[in-house]
Amino acid sequence: MSYAAAIVAMAGLFGLAGHAAAARAADIPHVRVLATGGTIAGAQPSATDYGYRSGAYDVNSLLKAVPNLDQLADITGEQVANIGSQDMNDALWLELARRVDAALADPGIDGVLITHGTDTLEETSYFLSLVTKSDEPVVMVGSMRPATAVSADGPGNLYNGVAVAADARARGKGTLVVLNDVIHYARNVVKTDTTSVATFASVNRGPAGLVHTGKIRWFEPMDRKVGPASEFSVGRLSTLPRVDILYAHANMSADLIDAAVKNGAKGLVIAGVGDGNMTTPALDALTRAAKSGIVVVRSTRLPSGIVLRNNEVNDDEKGFVVSGELNPAKSRVLLQLALTKTTDPVRIQKMFYEY
Ligand code: DGL
Protein backbone atom coordinates (compact mmCIF):
# COMPACT_ATOMS: atom_id res chain seq x y z
CA MET A 1 0.00 0.00 0.00
CA SER A 2 1.35 3.48 -0.80
CA TYR A 3 1.96 6.01 1.96
CA ALA A 4 -0.96 8.11 0.65
CA ALA A 5 -3.27 5.10 0.78
CA ALA A 6 -1.99 4.26 4.25
CA ILE A 7 -2.81 7.75 5.47
CA VAL A 8 -6.34 7.38 4.06
CA ALA A 9 -6.55 4.16 6.07
CA MET A 10 -5.82 5.99 9.33
CA ALA A 11 -8.77 5.37 11.54
CA GLY A 12 -8.16 7.89 14.32
CA LEU A 13 -8.88 7.17 17.94
CA PHE A 14 -11.33 4.50 18.92
CA GLY A 15 -11.88 2.43 22.01
CA LEU A 16 -12.04 -1.33 21.89
CA ALA A 17 -15.57 -2.63 22.05
CA GLY A 18 -17.02 -4.41 25.00
CA HIS A 19 -14.53 -4.56 27.80
CA ALA A 20 -13.45 -0.94 27.97
CA ALA A 21 -15.83 0.48 30.56
CA ALA A 22 -15.42 -2.43 32.98
CA ALA A 23 -11.65 -2.60 32.58
CA ARG A 24 -11.20 1.15 33.04
CA ALA A 25 -12.81 0.86 36.43
CA ALA A 26 -10.32 -1.80 37.47
CA ASP A 27 -6.95 -0.87 38.89
CA ILE A 28 -4.84 -2.02 35.96
CA PRO A 29 -2.42 -0.11 33.71
CA HIS A 30 -3.72 1.74 30.65
CA VAL A 31 -1.90 0.94 27.42
CA ARG A 32 -2.41 2.71 24.09
CA VAL A 33 -1.77 0.50 21.05
CA LEU A 34 -0.59 2.29 17.90
CA ALA A 35 -0.84 0.05 14.84
CA THR A 36 1.24 0.59 11.70
CA GLY A 37 0.83 -2.69 9.75
CA GLY A 38 3.38 -5.39 8.96
CA THR A 39 3.14 -9.16 8.97
CA ILE A 40 1.57 -9.09 12.41
CA ALA A 41 -1.48 -7.60 10.67
CA GLY A 42 -0.95 -9.71 7.54
CA ALA A 43 -3.20 -12.29 5.90
CA GLN A 44 -2.46 -15.05 3.44
CA PRO A 45 -4.88 -16.93 1.18
CA SER A 46 -3.62 -20.32 2.39
CA ALA A 47 -2.24 -21.09 5.85
CA THR A 48 0.55 -23.25 4.41
CA ASP A 49 1.61 -21.52 1.16
CA TYR A 50 3.85 -18.55 0.31
CA GLY A 51 2.22 -15.23 -0.41
CA TYR A 52 0.57 -12.82 1.97
CA ARG A 53 -0.32 -9.17 2.28
CA SER A 54 1.07 -7.02 5.12
CA GLY A 55 -1.35 -4.82 7.01
CA ALA A 56 -4.59 -6.64 6.13
CA TYR A 57 -6.12 -6.46 9.64
CA ASP A 58 -6.84 -3.37 11.70
CA VAL A 59 -5.76 -2.86 15.30
CA ASN A 60 -9.14 -3.89 16.69
CA SER A 61 -9.10 -7.30 15.02
CA LEU A 62 -5.51 -7.94 16.08
CA LEU A 63 -6.17 -7.26 19.73
CA LYS A 64 -9.42 -9.20 19.82
CA ALA A 65 -7.50 -12.31 18.70
CA VAL A 66 -5.33 -12.34 21.84
CA PRO A 67 -6.88 -14.12 24.82
CA ASN A 68 -6.81 -12.48 28.27
CA LEU A 69 -5.19 -9.27 27.06
CA ASP A 70 -7.74 -7.28 29.03
CA GLN A 71 -6.44 -8.85 32.23
CA LEU A 72 -3.02 -7.28 31.66
CA ALA A 73 -4.15 -3.76 30.81
CA ASP A 74 -6.97 -1.54 29.78
CA ILE A 75 -6.29 -1.08 26.09
CA THR A 76 -7.26 1.53 23.55
CA GLY A 77 -6.19 1.24 19.93
CA GLU A 78 -5.20 3.78 17.32
CA GLN A 79 -4.52 2.99 13.65
CA VAL A 80 -1.60 5.17 12.53
CA ALA A 81 -0.94 3.40 9.20
CA ASN A 82 -1.35 -0.04 7.70
CA ILE A 83 1.75 -0.67 5.60
CA GLY A 84 4.56 -3.13 5.07
CA SER A 85 7.43 -1.58 6.98
CA GLN A 86 9.61 -1.54 3.85
CA ASP A 87 7.49 1.55 3.05
CA MET A 88 8.24 3.24 6.36
CA ASN A 89 9.52 6.77 5.73
CA ASP A 90 10.62 9.98 7.43
CA ALA A 91 7.14 11.57 7.35
CA LEU A 92 5.56 8.58 9.03
CA TRP A 93 8.36 8.44 11.63
CA LEU A 94 7.64 12.06 12.55
CA GLU A 95 3.89 11.33 12.71
CA LEU A 96 4.39 8.21 14.82
CA ALA A 97 6.70 10.02 17.25
CA ARG A 98 4.08 12.74 17.69
CA ARG A 99 1.37 10.14 18.36
CA VAL A 100 3.61 8.47 20.98
CA ASP A 101 4.33 11.79 22.69
CA ALA A 102 0.63 12.72 22.61
CA ALA A 103 -0.45 9.38 24.07
CA LEU A 104 2.11 9.54 26.87
CA ALA A 105 1.23 13.16 27.66
CA ASP A 106 -2.24 11.85 28.58
CA PRO A 107 -2.18 11.20 32.35
CA GLY A 108 -4.57 8.31 31.78
CA ILE A 109 -2.04 6.34 29.70
CA ASP A 110 0.77 4.35 31.35
CA GLY A 111 2.52 2.92 28.30
CA VAL A 112 2.44 2.64 24.52
CA LEU A 113 2.64 -0.49 22.38
CA ILE A 114 3.37 -0.15 18.66
CA THR A 115 2.74 -2.90 16.12
CA HIS A 116 5.13 -2.70 13.16
CA GLY A 117 6.56 -4.79 10.32
CA THR A 118 9.84 -6.46 11.14
CA ASP A 119 11.85 -5.28 8.11
CA THR A 120 12.57 -1.79 9.44
CA LEU A 121 11.64 -2.33 13.09
CA GLU A 122 15.27 -1.83 14.13
CA GLU A 123 15.31 1.64 12.58
CA THR A 124 11.90 2.90 13.71
CA SER A 125 12.52 1.71 17.27
CA TYR A 126 15.91 3.47 17.43
CA PHE A 127 14.40 6.67 16.00
CA LEU A 128 11.63 6.62 18.65
CA SER A 129 14.08 5.90 21.46
CA LEU A 130 15.97 9.08 20.52
CA VAL A 131 13.01 11.45 20.14
CA THR A 132 10.28 10.29 22.54
CA LYS A 133 9.89 12.79 25.36
CA SER A 134 8.54 10.61 28.12
CA ASP A 135 10.03 8.04 30.49
CA GLU A 136 6.93 5.88 30.25
CA PRO A 137 7.26 2.52 28.49
CA VAL A 138 7.27 2.44 24.69
CA VAL A 139 7.30 -1.11 23.33
CA MET A 140 7.28 -2.33 19.74
CA VAL A 141 6.16 -5.74 18.52
CA GLY A 142 5.89 -7.46 15.16
CA SER A 143 5.67 -11.02 13.96
CA MET A 144 7.36 -13.21 11.40
CA ARG A 145 4.24 -15.16 10.46
CA PRO A 146 0.98 -13.61 9.31
CA ALA A 147 -2.10 -13.77 11.48
CA THR A 148 -3.55 -16.59 9.34
CA ALA A 149 -0.43 -18.84 9.39
CA VAL A 150 -0.03 -22.15 11.18
CA SER A 151 1.59 -21.21 14.53
CA ALA A 152 1.23 -17.47 14.02
CA ASP A 153 3.62 -15.73 16.42
CA GLY A 154 1.78 -12.38 16.50
CA PRO A 155 -0.68 -13.06 19.35
CA GLY A 156 2.07 -14.25 21.73
CA ASN A 157 4.25 -11.26 20.85
CA LEU A 158 1.29 -8.92 21.39
CA TYR A 159 0.51 -10.47 24.76
CA ASN A 160 4.12 -10.20 25.92
CA GLY A 161 4.41 -6.70 24.43
CA VAL A 162 1.39 -5.46 26.39
CA ALA A 163 2.82 -7.05 29.56
CA VAL A 164 6.08 -5.12 29.09
CA ALA A 165 4.30 -1.86 28.20
CA ALA A 166 2.23 -2.24 31.38
CA ASP A 167 5.29 -2.89 33.58
CA ALA A 168 6.44 0.17 35.53
CA ARG A 169 9.99 -1.26 35.52
CA ALA A 170 10.10 -0.62 31.74
CA ARG A 171 10.10 3.13 32.46
CA GLY A 172 13.23 5.05 31.45
CA LYS A 173 14.61 2.29 29.24
CA GLY A 174 13.81 3.95 25.94
CA THR A 175 11.93 2.12 23.22
CA LEU A 176 11.94 -1.65 23.66
CA VAL A 177 11.35 -4.37 21.05
CA VAL A 178 9.62 -7.59 22.12
CA LEU A 179 9.54 -10.68 19.91
CA ASN A 180 9.92 -14.39 20.53
CA ASP A 181 10.00 -13.95 24.34
CA VAL A 182 13.03 -11.62 24.27
CA ILE A 183 13.06 -7.92 25.23
CA HIS A 184 15.62 -5.84 23.29
CA TYR A 185 16.80 -2.26 23.58
CA ALA A 186 16.09 -0.40 20.34
CA ARG A 187 19.74 0.61 20.02
CA ASN A 188 21.00 -2.95 19.96
CA VAL A 189 18.28 -4.89 18.19
CA VAL A 190 18.94 -6.22 14.68
CA LYS A 191 16.92 -8.43 12.34
CA THR A 192 19.20 -11.37 11.50
CA ASP A 193 17.13 -13.90 9.55
CA THR A 194 14.64 -13.56 6.68
CA THR A 195 12.02 -15.94 8.08
CA SER A 196 12.89 -17.34 11.53
CA VAL A 197 10.70 -16.36 14.49
CA ALA A 198 14.01 -16.01 16.39
CA THR A 199 15.20 -13.38 13.92
CA PHE A 200 15.87 -10.52 16.36
CA ALA A 201 19.12 -10.35 18.31
CA SER A 202 20.74 -7.79 20.59
CA VAL A 203 24.00 -7.47 18.70
CA ASN A 204 27.25 -6.94 20.64
CA ARG A 205 25.27 -6.95 23.91
CA GLY A 206 22.86 -9.03 25.93
CA PRO A 207 19.11 -8.50 25.73
CA ALA A 208 17.22 -6.16 28.05
CA GLY A 209 15.30 -9.11 29.45
CA LEU A 210 13.01 -12.05 28.81
CA VAL A 211 9.23 -12.25 28.87
CA HIS A 212 7.36 -15.53 28.90
CA THR A 213 3.55 -15.69 29.06
CA GLY A 214 3.63 -12.09 30.25
CA LYS A 215 6.07 -12.73 33.11
CA ILE A 216 9.16 -10.53 32.88
CA ARG A 217 12.76 -10.85 33.93
CA TRP A 218 14.93 -7.76 33.42
CA PHE A 219 18.66 -8.17 32.72
CA GLU A 220 21.01 -5.55 31.27
CA PRO A 221 20.59 -1.84 32.10
CA MET A 222 20.71 0.70 29.24
CA ASP A 223 23.84 2.87 29.41
CA ARG A 224 23.12 5.26 26.53
CA LYS A 225 20.94 8.37 26.44
CA VAL A 226 17.31 7.71 25.54
CA GLY A 227 13.95 9.48 25.83
CA PRO A 228 13.96 12.76 27.80
CA ALA A 229 17.77 12.51 28.29
CA SER A 230 18.22 12.74 24.51
CA GLU A 231 18.75 16.17 22.94
CA PHE A 232 16.65 15.21 19.92
CA SER A 233 12.93 15.68 19.43
CA VAL A 234 10.57 15.85 16.50
CA GLY A 235 9.47 19.31 17.69
CA ARG A 236 8.37 21.26 14.68
CA LEU A 237 10.40 19.22 12.19
CA SER A 238 8.52 18.56 8.97
CA THR A 239 11.33 16.69 7.23
CA LEU A 240 14.59 14.97 8.11
CA PRO A 241 17.91 15.60 6.33
CA ARG A 242 18.74 13.21 3.51
CA VAL A 243 21.28 10.57 4.50
CA ASP A 244 22.21 7.77 2.09
CA ILE A 245 23.82 4.41 2.86
CA LEU A 246 26.47 3.04 0.49
CA TYR A 247 27.37 -0.64 0.56
CA ALA A 248 31.09 -1.36 0.17
CA HIS A 249 32.42 -4.33 -1.79
CA ALA A 250 35.51 -5.48 -3.67
CA ASN A 251 36.24 -3.21 -6.64
CA MET A 252 33.84 -0.49 -5.40
CA SER A 253 33.95 2.63 -7.57
CA ALA A 254 33.24 6.23 -6.57
CA ASP A 255 30.19 6.41 -8.85
CA LEU A 256 27.40 5.83 -6.31
CA ILE A 257 29.07 8.12 -3.75
CA ASP A 258 29.30 10.90 -6.34
CA ALA A 259 25.65 10.28 -7.32
CA ALA A 260 24.51 10.54 -3.69
CA VAL A 261 26.37 13.84 -3.31
CA LYS A 262 24.96 15.14 -6.60
CA ASN A 263 21.44 14.21 -5.51
CA GLY A 264 21.66 16.30 -2.35
CA ALA A 265 22.67 13.94 0.46
CA LYS A 266 23.64 15.89 3.58
CA GLY A 267 25.16 12.83 5.17
CA LEU A 268 26.63 9.55 3.94
CA VAL A 269 26.96 6.27 5.82
CA ILE A 270 29.30 3.69 4.37
CA ALA A 271 28.52 0.05 5.14
CA GLY A 272 32.21 -0.70 4.95
CA VAL A 273 34.04 -3.98 4.61
CA GLY A 274 35.62 -5.21 7.85
CA ASP A 275 36.32 -2.35 10.25
CA GLY A 276 34.49 0.18 8.03
CA ASN A 277 36.96 0.01 5.16
CA MET A 278 36.50 0.64 1.43
CA THR A 279 38.45 0.77 -1.82
CA THR A 280 40.86 3.66 -2.44
CA PRO A 281 38.56 5.31 -5.06
CA ALA A 282 35.63 5.14 -2.59
CA LEU A 283 37.81 6.50 0.23
CA ASP A 284 38.95 9.37 -1.98
CA ALA A 285 35.35 10.20 -2.94
CA LEU A 286 34.23 10.18 0.70
CA THR A 287 37.20 12.36 1.65
CA ARG A 288 36.11 14.88 -1.01
CA ALA A 289 32.54 14.71 0.28
CA ALA A 290 33.64 15.33 3.88
CA LYS A 291 35.80 18.29 2.81
CA SER A 292 32.74 19.77 1.07
CA GLY A 293 30.71 19.71 4.33
CA ILE A 294 28.83 16.41 3.97
CA VAL A 295 29.05 14.36 7.13
CA VAL A 296 30.53 10.91 6.49
CA VAL A 297 30.02 8.04 8.93
CA ARG A 298 32.06 4.85 8.63
CA SER A 299 29.98 1.83 9.66
CA THR A 300 30.36 -1.82 8.69
CA ARG A 301 28.47 -4.34 6.61
CA LEU A 302 29.46 -7.02 9.17
CA PRO A 303 26.73 -8.29 11.50
CA SER A 304 28.59 -7.36 14.71
CA GLY A 305 31.62 -5.59 16.12
CA ILE A 306 32.76 -2.03 16.78
CA VAL A 307 34.13 0.27 14.07
CA LEU A 308 37.32 1.77 15.52
CA ARG A 309 38.35 5.38 15.10
CA ASN A 310 41.76 6.10 13.52
CA ASN A 311 42.59 2.41 13.15
CA GLU A 312 43.14 1.68 9.43
CA VAL A 313 41.65 5.00 8.31
CA ASN A 314 42.85 8.34 9.67
CA ASP A 315 39.43 9.69 10.62
CA ASP A 316 40.83 12.80 12.32
CA GLU A 317 42.62 13.86 9.15
CA LYS A 318 39.68 13.09 6.86
CA GLY A 319 37.00 14.58 9.12
CA PHE A 320 35.05 11.31 9.33
CA VAL A 321 32.80 9.99 12.08
CA VAL A 322 32.87 6.32 13.14
CA SER A 323 29.70 4.46 14.00
CA GLY A 324 31.08 2.42 16.92
CA GLU A 325 28.52 -0.33 17.53
CA LEU A 326 25.79 1.08 15.29
CA ASN A 327 25.06 -0.75 12.06
CA PRO A 328 24.47 1.29 8.88
CA ALA A 329 20.67 1.50 9.31
CA LYS A 330 20.93 2.78 12.88
CA SER A 331 23.85 5.06 11.99
CA ARG A 332 21.63 6.62 9.34
CA VAL A 333 18.89 7.31 11.94
CA LEU A 334 21.32 8.95 14.37
CA LEU A 335 23.00 10.96 11.62
CA GLN A 336 19.65 12.26 10.36
CA LEU A 337 18.82 13.49 13.86
CA ALA A 338 22.35 14.78 14.47
CA LEU A 339 22.13 16.86 11.28
CA THR A 340 19.05 18.62 12.70
CA LYS A 341 21.48 20.07 15.29
CA THR A 342 24.88 20.49 13.64
CA THR A 343 27.12 19.58 10.69
CA ASP A 344 30.29 19.55 12.83
CA PRO A 345 31.78 16.03 12.61
CA VAL A 346 33.48 16.43 15.99
CA ARG A 347 30.16 17.11 17.72
CA ILE A 348 28.49 14.34 15.74
CA GLN A 349 31.22 11.86 16.74
CA LYS A 350 30.44 12.68 20.38
CA MET A 351 26.79 11.90 19.71
CA PHE A 352 27.76 8.50 18.30
CA TYR A 353 29.54 7.80 21.60
CA GLU A 354 26.58 8.98 23.71
CA TYR A 355 23.52 7.50 21.96
N1 DGL B 1 7.47 -6.59 4.62
C2 DGL B 1 7.48 -6.81 5.94
C3 DGL B 1 7.29 -5.67 6.89
O4 DGL B 1 6.20 -5.14 7.07
C5 DGL B 1 6.76 -7.98 6.39
C6 DGL B 1 7.69 -8.67 7.31
C7 DGL B 1 7.24 -8.60 8.72
O8 DGL B 1 6.51 -7.76 9.19
O9 DGL B 1 7.71 -9.49 9.38
O10 DGL B 1 8.24 -5.32 7.49
Mean pLDDT value across the chain: 92
Q: Where in the chain is the domain with CATH 3.40.50.1170?
A: 3-229
Q: What is the length of the chain? A: 355
Span from the CA of 201 to the centroid of ligand 1 (angstroms): 16
- Does residue 231 carry a pLDDT above 90? yes
Does residue 350 contact residue 340 with C-beta atoms inside 8 Å? Answer: no
Confidence of residue 26 (pLDDT cuts 50, 70, 90): low
CA 281/CA 270 separation, integer angstroms? 13
Q: 139: which strand partners?
A: 113, 176
What is residue 91's predicted lDDT score, i.e. its pLDDT?
98
CA 166/CA 180 separation, integer angstroms? 18
| 91-142 tens-digit pLDDT | 999 999 999 999 999 999 999 999 999 999 999 999 999 999 999 999 999 9
CA 318/CA 145 separation, integer angstroms? 45
- Give the position, in ligand 1's atom list, of the atom nearest the Cα of 83: 4
Does residue 211 contact residue 163 with C-beta atoms inside 8 Å? Answer: yes
Q: Where in the chain is the domain with CATH 3.40.50.40?
A: 243-354
What does the DSSP 8-state code read for residue 4?
H
One-letter amino acid at 40 equals: I
Q: What are phi and psi of 304, to 5 degrees?
A: -150, 175
Using CA atoms, how far residue 79 sits from 36, 55, 147, in Å, is: 7, 11, 17
Mean pLDDT computed over 80-97: 97
- Could you please state the CATH topology (level 3) that the domain comprising 243-354 is classified under: Rossmann fold (3.40.50)
Does the global pTM surpass 0.95?
no
| 336-347 tens-digit pLDDT | 999 999 999 999
What is residue 201's predicted lDDT score, i.e. its pLDDT?
98
Ligand 1 pocket member 115 (CB < 6 A): no
Q: 281: which strand partners?
A: none
Radius of gyration of the chain (CA): 21
Ligand 1 pocket member 202 (CB < 6 A): no
What is residue 2's predicted lDDT score, i.e. its pLDDT?
34
- Does residue 281 carry a pLDDT above 50? yes
Confidence of residue 296 (pLDDT cuts 50, 70, 90): very high
Residue of 59 and 256 predicted with greater confidence? 256
- Beta sheet of 74-83, edge-to-edge order: 12-15, 74-83, 30-37, 111-115, 138-141, 175-179, 182-185, 209-212, 215-218
Span from the CA of 84 to the centroid of ligand 1 (angstroms): 5
Mean pLDDT computed over 301-306: 98
Mean pLDDT computed over 266-276: 98
* Choice among 36, 39, 118, 124 that is catalytic: 39
- Could you please state the CATH topology (level 3) that the domain comprising 3-229 is classified under: Rossmann fold (3.40.50)
CA 78/CA 287 separation, integer angstroms? 46
Ligand 1 pocket member 86 (CB < 6 A): yes
What angle is formed at CA 71 by the lines to CA 100 and CA 125, rounded to 5 degrees? 25
Q: Between β-strands 175-179 and 138-141, what pairing exists: parallel, antiparallel or unpaired? A: parallel
- Does residue 53 carry a pLDDT above 90? no
Mean pLDDT computed over 254-277: 98
Q: Between β-strands 267-272 and 243-247, what pairing exists: parallel, antiparallel or unpaired? A: parallel
| 166-182 tens-digit pLDDT | 999 999 999 999 999 99
192 given a catalytic annotation: no
Q: What percent of the chain has pLDDT over 90?
A: 84
CB atoms within 10 A of CB 173: 24
Ligand 1 pocket member 118 (CB < 6 A): yes
What is residue 160's predicted lDDT score, i.e. its pLDDT?
98
Span from the CA of 118 to the centroid of ligand 1 (angstroms): 5
Ligand 1 pocket member 319 (CB < 6 A): no
Ligand 1 pocket member 38 (CB < 6 A): yes
What is residue 13's predicted lDDT score, i.e. its pLDDT?
32
Least confident of 56-70, 248-262, 326-340: 56-70
Confidence of residue 331 (pLDDT cuts 50, 70, 90): very high
CA 82/CA 122 separation, integer angstroms? 18
What is residue 33's predicted lDDT score, i.e. its pLDDT?
97
Span from the CA of 36 to the centroid of ligand 1 (angstroms): 11
Ligand 1 pocket member 132 (CB < 6 A): no
Q: 79: which strand partners?
A: 12, 35
- Give the position, in ligand 1's atom list, of the atom nearest the Cα of 37: 4
Least confident of 113-122, 140-149, 296-305, 345-354: 140-149
What angle is formed at CA 128 by the lines to CA 123 and CA 133, rounded to 5 degrees? 165
- Give the position, in ligand 1's atom list, of the atom nearest the Cα of 143: 9
CB atoms within 10 A of CB 35: 27
Give the residue, out of 83, 89, 119, 153, with the most ligand 1 atoms within 8 A of its beta carbon, to mutate for a pocket test: 119
- Does residue 20 carry a pLDDT above 70? no
- Does residue 25 carry a pLDDT above 80? no
Span from the CA of 10 to the centroid of ligand 1 (angstroms): 19
Could you give the 3-state DSSP secondary structure of residue 230?
coil
What is residue 168's predicted lDDT score, i.e. its pLDDT?
97
One-letter amino acid at 163 equals: A
Taking the alpha carbons at both ends of the chain, their separation in whole angstroms is: 33
Least confident of 38-47, 149-158, 226-235, 237-246: 38-47
Span from the CA of 174 to the centroid of ligand 1 (angstroms): 23
What angle is formed at CA 226 by the lines to CA 220 and CA 229, rounded to 5 degrees? 125
Mean pLDDT computed over 57-70: 90
Span from the CA of 261 to the centroid of ligand 1 (angstroms): 30
Ligand 1 pocket member 85 (CB < 6 A): yes
CA 248/CA 2 separation, integer angstroms? 30
What does the DSSP 8-state code read for residue 45?
S
Instruction: Find all residues with CB under 8 Å of 105, minimum gap 6, and list them.
Output: 134
What is residue 69's predicted lDDT score, i.e. its pLDDT?
94
Ligand 1 pocket member 142 (CB < 6 A): yes
